[in-house]
Every structure is written in C-alpha cells, then in structure tokens.
Structure 1
Amino acid sequence: MLYLLSVLYLSLFNLIPAGSPKKINLTIEVQNVRARKGTVYFALFRPGKDFPEGKPIEGKKVDADNEQVHTTFSVEPGEYAIAVFHDENGNGKMDKRLFGIPKEPYGFSNNFRPKLMAPKFSDCEFSVGDSGKTIHIKLN
C-alpha cells in the first residue's frame, strides 16, 4: 500500500510544472486627479486587439480622494499597456461627447496622447522585467 501511494505521489509530482511563473509588482501612479470625487478605473492589457476598450486581463478601481492615486497589479514579466479614466460623476462608465470623445479625464501608459483616434497597443506598450516596475500616468 505504501509503495502504491509513493508511486501515485511521484506520478502526480511529475505532472506539476517545475515552477510557476514569477509574479512581479507593477505599480501604477495616476497624477493630476483634479476632482476629489468619483473613482479612477485602471485597465491592464496584454498584447492583442482588445486595447484600449476591450476586456482587460485585470481591472481595478480606486477612490479619487487625492491628487495622486495608485494601485498595484501582480504580473508576470512581459509586455503590457494601461488605460485609466477618472469617473468623476460616479456612474461607472466613461462619459463621452459627440463622436466618442471622452468627457472625463483619461490617460494611457507612456503618457500617450491620442490625436484623432484611440491608441494602438504599441503606442502604450511597456515591459515589466524581473524586478517590477512603477508607471506614472498623467490624466489629461
């Protein structure tokens, strides 16, 4: 019986990957929060077609109670992009003007400022290495 349990244990042990990918802290600091009300929404994206309005790999929200707010994601090393917006009126969505122009403050990693259309992932892309990273985004 002990032999059977040993074989079963070793078999299961061999099915488990040698090591899980290392998780690193990615801190996002948002500056220029003008109104001290509402919520700042953070959307973290990996490379793909979803950026910036699709489904992020992870999202967070933080009360806008200071001129600067921040949050931290636990990520694997790799390529990412961030989109943030300040929901000043607290309705849970980005309010837009005619032609989809945002009414509320927003920002992207690399402090990319779109001119006529939404940015591409490559415009806002940054790398996270083995030691973590802090990104600063200034709201428009």
Structure 2
Amino acid sequence: MFVLLSALSLLLVGKEPSTSPQKTTLSVEIQNVRTQKGAVFIAIFKPDGSFPDGKAFDGKQVAVKGERLEATFSVEPGDYAIAVFHDANDNGKLDKGIFGIPKEPYGFSNNFRPKMSAPSFKDCQFSVSGKEKTISIAIK
C-alpha cells in the first residue's frame, strides 16, 4: 500500500523542474548605417574576458538593407556585451589603420564610445532577465 501511495504522489507532483534557465529573445537594432553595401557583424559576449576581440558567445552577419537593421537572438538570462561593425567593403573583417584604430564604422552596447583603447566588458554590459529585451546601437 505504501509503495502504491508513493507512486501516486510522484505522478501528482509531476516531472522534475528543468535545470536549464528559460531562454528569451534579445533584439539588437543597429542604427546609423550610412553606406548601403556590405554587411554588419554583431557579436554577443558573456563576461568571460574575451570582449571585445575574442571569441563571441553568439553572433550574426546581417546584409545591409537600409539605415537601420535588426537581428534577434535567443539567450538565457544573464549579463552580456555586444560589439558591432559594418564591413562596408565586404572583406569579412574590421579594417584597422595605424595603432589599431578601426577604419570602418563600429559600435558597442550602451552606445559606449571608447577614447584611447578598446572598452571593457563592464563599459558595455547590460542584463537580460526573463522577458524580451531590445538593445539599440548606433554605429559611427
């Protein structure tokens, strides 16, 4: 009898809760695209020390079709930072001049504009909770 009641109580409780967090939609709007050719590269980073030049957690390449572009990602709640550049000459990389200064338009989450060096993760950090989030980045 005890075994039967135990089995019934397990059925009533239902399945165990999932250990992975629920994903949500992160929309990234890119504004100020001035040259109508090439592609925009969007890279999403986690706080693992790779921002902004290392391996991104997720990313997309979006063909330029106007002054404003949008891309969506499915992410778990947490902290992220985004780096974006417009590959206007379509060579697949961010062209840099002397001293590593970008020659092509770029931008970061929080619209952070670095002065003398690349930004830190903390400069561009934002949080995603369980609800949808939209980030807007103006490239320059």
- Name the TM tier (shorter chain): 0.7 to 0.9
Aligned equivalent of 1:113: 113
**1:124–1:17: structure 2 CA closer, same or farther, 3 Å change rule?**
farther
1:21 Cα deviation after fit: 1.5
Query: How high is the TM-score relative to the length of structure 1?
Result: 0.87
1:37 Cα deviation after fit: 0.3
Extract unaligned runs of 5+ from structure 1.
1-15
Distance 1:77 1:129 in 2: 5
Residue 99 of structure 1 aligns to a residue whose secondary structure is helix
User: Which letter maps to 1:50?
Assistant: S
Which has the larger displacement, 130-139 or 17-26?
17-26
Extract unaligned runs of 5+ from structure 2.
1-14
Compute the RMSD of aligned alpha carbons: 1.2
Residue 136 of structure 1 aligns to a residue whose secondary structure is strand
1:17 Cα deviation after fit: 7.0
Residue 123 of structure 1 aligns to a residue whose secondary structure is helix
Aligned equivalent of 1:56: 56
Query: How high is the TM-score relative to the length of structure 2?
Result: 0.87
Runs of 4+ in 1 over 2 A off after TM superposition: none
How many residues are matched?
Answer: 125
User: Which letter maps to 1:126?
Assistant: F
Distance 2:65 2:27 in 1: 18
Larger Rg computed on CA atoms: 2
1:25 equivalenced with 2:17 (yes/no): no
Fraction of identical pairs, as percent: 58
User: Which letter maps to 1:18?
Assistant: P
1:56-110 superposed Cα distances (whole Å, 9 cap, x missing partner): 0111010011100010110001100000000000000000000000000000000
**1:127–1:98: structure 2 CA closer, same or farther, 3 Å change rule?**
same
